[in-house]
Structure 1
């Protein structure tokens, strides 16, 4: 069970995981050692899955976002495993979700430019058979982040 202070620690770490424990402790009104113990407990309990660095996509050279909606005629376990392997081997595909509704999957791609989508598309269809793929180009990012709401944590 976690309390409001733990939620505040999680929220602050989501904003900047490199924050010094002493600074974090001050912001949540704890001693440094007590704050450190809470962070360790949150990690052990699995609330903190990992700590990462978020790169500036423009500076890295992949400013373009494309979403590909995928339909497939295959739903057997071996096809799904081949699809998982194919998308995991393509670094430009940074997210993939299985969906309900008209499409089976949505893929988020980050690319150097729109024209590079065809390169990724060709790599994917060489590895796995797809029924239909429809791509949409993101014109503008209105909200972006990795942070999740902490109010629901129990």
Structure 2
């Protein structure tokens, strides 16, 4: 699926997608036009889903962030879970939503302006939902690492 140049390019773009084709060519040992063609192909194929800007800690640290662990009722209809999941996906406060194994069923990373906004979110989406059996919240005190990167190597080729 990917050759070694694609893997190097994907890793370099995950580190800094603002690099120009010329800058990437210095790292990957391809011409800048070959780099541009590969990037276009990787985007068209869906290998690069989207390019985003990560905000600095100075901006993000002013938000109240919470990790919320949810336990759902065991016998909910699939459609109810799909509706619930769609509501969570639509909420700007929800930065990450994971279906997980273990004692919890879903984990959320939620970012709100303050406790009042978090309480509004929790009351309207979690406490009011008939499929949520219980939820537990841990508030983020300090971000130590935030690097949404998946390092690729030859095993991913």
Measure, in 2, the Cα distance between the counterparts of 1:91 and 1:50: 18
1:38-91, CA deviations, whole angstroms, 9 ceiling, x for partnerless residues?
Answer: 222222333211111112364267533201111111431121122112212321
Count of residue pairs the alignment pairs up: 154
Q: Residue 81 of structure 2 corresponds to which residue in structure 1?
A: 80
| Structure 2: gaps spanning 5 or more residues | none
CA shift in 2, pair 1:92/1:58, >3 Å: farther
What per-residue deviation string (whole Å, max 9, x for no partner) do you get for residues 93-152 of structure 1? 111111111111111101223453212101213762221010011222222121111124
Secondary structure at the aligned position of 1:75 is classed as coil
On the 8 A contact 1:82/1:128 being kept in 2, the answer is no
Paired with 1:115 and 1:63, the residues of 2 have a C-alpha distance of 12
Partner residue in 2 for 1:106: 107
Shift in Å, 1:16: 1.4
Does 1:136 pair with 2:138?
A: yes
Task: Tell me if the contact between 2:126 and 2:135 (Cα under 8 Å) persists in the aligned partners.
Answer: no
27-36 or 110-119, which moves further after superposition? Answer: 110-119
With normalisation by structure 1, the TM-score equals 0.87
- Structure 1 segments unaligned to the other structure (5+ residues): none
Cα distance in structure 2, aligned partners of 1:110 and 1:32: 39
Deviates more, 1:57-66 or 1:101-110: 57-66
Q: 1:62 to 1:119 in 2, by over 3 A?
A: farther
Mapped to 2, the partners of 1:88 and 1:33 lie a distance apart of: 38
Does structure 1 conserve the Cα–Cα contact (< 8 Å) formed by 2:68 and 2:107? Answer: yes
